[in-house]
Amino acid sequence: MAETTGSTTVGTTSDTGDPPPSGISGTGRIRQPAALIRLLAGLTVIALALLCADYARATTSGLAEDVAAAAALVPHPLGGVATGLTTAALLLLPVLSAARRLLRPTADRRHVLQQLADGVLAAVLAYGASLALDLWIDGPAPFSLVSALTQPLPGDPLARTEPVYGHLAPVLAFLIASAARERRVPRTVLALSALAGLAGGAATPTALLLGVLIGWTAAHGTRWAVGTPDPRPRPAQLLHSLREAGLRPVAATPAGQDRYLVRQQDGRPELDVQLLDRQAVTAALVQRAWRRLRLRTAPHPRALRSLRTGLEHEALVSYAAVAAGVRTRPVAATAELGPDTALVAYQRLPGRALDELADEELTDALLADAWGQLALLQRRAIAHRALVPSALLVDAAGAVHLVGLADGDIAAGELVLRSDIAQLLTTLALRTGAERSVRAAVAVLGPDAVAAALPLLQPIALTRGTRHALKQAGRAAQNAGTAGTGAPAPDLLEEIRAEVLRSRPQAPVRPVRLERLRPRTLLAVGGGVVAGWLLVPQFFATERNPIAAVADADPFWLVLALLAAAVSHVMGAMGFVGFVPERLDFRHAVLAQVAGSFVKLVSPGGVGGVALNTRFLQRAGIPTAQALSSVGVGQLLGLVLHLLQIGAFVYLTGVETGGSELEALPFVVGGLAVAGVLLAAVSAVPPARRWLAARLRPLTAEVLPRLVELLRNPWRLAVGFTGQLLVSITLIACLYCSARAVGSEPGFAAVGVVFLVGNTAGSAAPTPGGVGIVDGALVAGLQWTTSMENGGAVATVTLFRLLTFLLPVLPGWAAFSWLQRRGAL
């Protein structure tokens, strides 16, 4: 007897003569992740359609006029008859669909009534959404949107069509939400109704598109909100499908999520049945699709395949593995149980997974057997892609079977095959240690094959569970090291590399770049788009054109601004070499600061400069630890000076204007308050607190000892302080001269406050050179603290960024290339 709790069906069945089950598989309702994804996608496309209709008015209006001109060729009486007939057919379509399903002899009427109720609810929501959008467009929406979505009615120039063709939305929503199986007739009726609306002049193409999108979105929103019947089969349905496949099942017992153990008649082998549930696979669609987009070695997301294709793929990889001589579960049968569920029945293999074995059971012979099975796959170019502990099944005789081939590939590329070796090396090393894992791999595969996998031995190439296990192992080793000698614990992946290099010293160790797309690249692109969206309209929305203001800049102040920008690189070199006890070539240091202007194009905030300075010190013969600590000292003291300068310029702003020295304080206190709140929030969350402690640990371990060493040379320390101070002063002077060049006359101290606060925001920005964040902060700051008009503020910032960010790129590239050729970078 089956039993349902919520949306999970469990139970056993021993009936040997079940009739074919009809209707729904379970009685619970579930929210499908696919419905939520489609709902969000529909809302996004509706918003984009409205934006395109408003911003591309000429295109949408031109398209509507072309369609109206073509519709004018249709005789008006014929167009009216066509519109009436298609409207009647459209309204009858839901009624006929519901009647056909209810009158079907094998229909589960309770289930059909539930689906029809869902359809009616979706139709009501679609009609309400269409009506609400109509009212909004006719009311508070911009008139440009009204003209883009509507057109005069034929024969009545004073009346206009509806912004949304509301006839389509409720019908389409009903058909989708009620899970109607008919496809051809509804699509034909919907298409004819749309064409009749265009031919009769009752709708524009954009109004038709909005009607379809609203109906589609409302249907999936309803399916997600109220849920859909659980598509997973009852045991009776599962047994019936297995009998139709030629097997003789007797009982099905749940053995985990989407998995059953099935007993057969006449002593036949038990079956391990795995359900392929479309909704469970779709739940991980976003994560898998992102991993596929990001990584070159990621498997193709199963949710992007059809259910039949996924079924065929899993069976094909299993057959190929058996043909290669690999011990795995043979496929006994495959079957589709409906549009959203299928099953794969394997012959059951009694055994335990690798993570269920005790440490003493992990013998060298077992490790060698595991590598031997992988060698058979590698010989036939079959990739497993998921060699995690649960994929290694050990039977009673100690033989290893490779299971879980659903994401595997046939005729896999070299990169994916080497990734399998790296994955198994890590999986076994987590249980037996790096030395035993590598020794067994070298004995079976040979040192060359194992060494070839070293470039793939990086966390991003491993499965998510393995990365989590590595973090746990590293944390445990670190705690043990802290409690013992206090020495830092070695990383497991580094231990594996060291063991491989012992057997093959010339092995390549440089990691292969597996990422097609990095998250920070998306952040940079997104930040650039937002910056363009916010700043570009400023060039056209002000009475004073910023571009014209820059073009008409005062030559005297322009030269001074350019000179200040150039001197800032020299001051930056002083602030850099002053915190390095070792002797450096000052000319090379200046060129390194100029090269930083080129590096800022591809790195966020101050990250590029830190990396460049560290590399410069390394190439100058300074060990990595001392190089990092010298750069860290500069960053730490630069931060202290930055805060002191903000306080000084806030005071000078009040003195300069003859008012209170606290007038500019709210602009600063707001930023400091936000920083304080963020720091408090980070400190209150244990994982974030541990992350912050890990980032600050190098400060006490490396930076402070280096600072003590610098105190022995006060002259060099004074040079560093002077450089750090003057680099800010020269950039403030550049911003001030830029303002004077475009005709504004702000106070120097007020400009200093704006620059220092804006530069702080840019240091935390994920975009290259702080694009967007710095510009917006500077424009807002100039308008607030100096009462500068919008056009003047935008022109000032445009000129300043041109001199300090864009113009130095070409000299920076030349300096970067020159230093590389000289071996200084």
- HSE-up of residue 472 (Cα within 13 Å, Cβ side): 8
Q: How many other β-carbons are positioned within 10 Å of the β-carbon of residue 792?
A: 23
Q: Is the pTM of this model over 0.85?
A: no
Retrieve residue 201's tokens: 């002049």
Question: How many secondary structure helices (H) and strands (E) does the chain include?
Answer: 33, 16
**Residues 169, 134: contact at Cβ < 8 Å?**
no
**Residues 367, 375: contact at Cβ < 8 Å?**
no
Whole-angstrom Cα distance, residue 396 to residue 627?
Answer: 56
Retrieve residue 218's tokens: 């409302």
**Residues 595, 817: contact at Cβ < 8 Å?**
no
Q: What is the mean pLDDT of residues 300-319?
A: 70
Q: Which residues of 605-640 are buried (b: 16+ CB within 10 A; e: fewer)?
A: bbebbbebbbbbbebbebeeebbbbbbbbbbbbbee
Lowest average pLDDT, out of 132-146, 174-188, 486-500, 634-648, goes to 486-500
Confidence check: pLDDT of 438 > 90? yes
- Using CA atoms, how far residue 263 sits from 255, 314, 346, 361, 508, in Å, is 12, 23, 12, 30, 51
- Using CA atoms, how far residue 37 sits from 49, 694, 759, in Å, is 18, 37, 39
Lowest average pLDDT, out of 129-138, 284-293, 513-522, goes to 284-293
Whole-angstrom Cα distance, residue 538 to residue 303?
Answer: 44
DSSP 458: S
DSSP 152: E
| Measured distance between the N- and C-terminal CA atoms of the chain, rounded to whole angstroms | 74
SS3 of residue 402 by DSSP: strand
Count of all residues that appear for the chain in the document: 825
DSSP 295: B
- Using CA atoms, how far residue 590 sits from 33, 91, 419, 594, 596, in Å, is 56, 77, 43, 6, 10
**Residues 601, 809: contact at Cβ < 8 Å?**
yes
Handedness of CA 659, 663, 665, 668 (dihedral sign): negative
- HSE-up of residue 722 (Cα within 13 Å, Cβ side): 10
CA 21 to chain centre: 42
Retrieve residue 65's tokens: 């006029």
**Residues 151, 208: contact at Cβ < 8 Å?**
no
Lowest average pLDDT, out of 215-229, 269-283, 525-539, 546-560, goes to 525-539
With residue 30 as reference, give the H or E element that holds it. strand 29-30
- HSE-up of residue 702 (Cα within 13 Å, Cβ side): 18
Dump pLDDT digits (tens) for 10-41: 333 333 334 344 333 444 677 777 788 889 88
Dump pLDDT digits (tens) for 757-777: 887 766 666 666 666 677 777
> Which comes out higher in pLDDT, residue 550 or 539?
550
Confidence check: pLDDT of 567 > 80? yes
DSSP 21: P
Owner of token pair 């102040």: 557
- 311: nearest Cα among 289, 282, 288, 278: 278
- Give residue 597's pLDDT: 82
Whole-angstrom Cα distance, residue 418 to residue 377?
Answer: 12
Whole-angstrom Cα distance, residue 493 to residue 592?
Answer: 34
Dump pLDDT digits (tens) for 412-428: 888 889 999 999 999 99
- Give the pLDDT band (50/70/90) at residue 253: confident
- Give the pLDDT band (50/70/90) at residue 483: very low
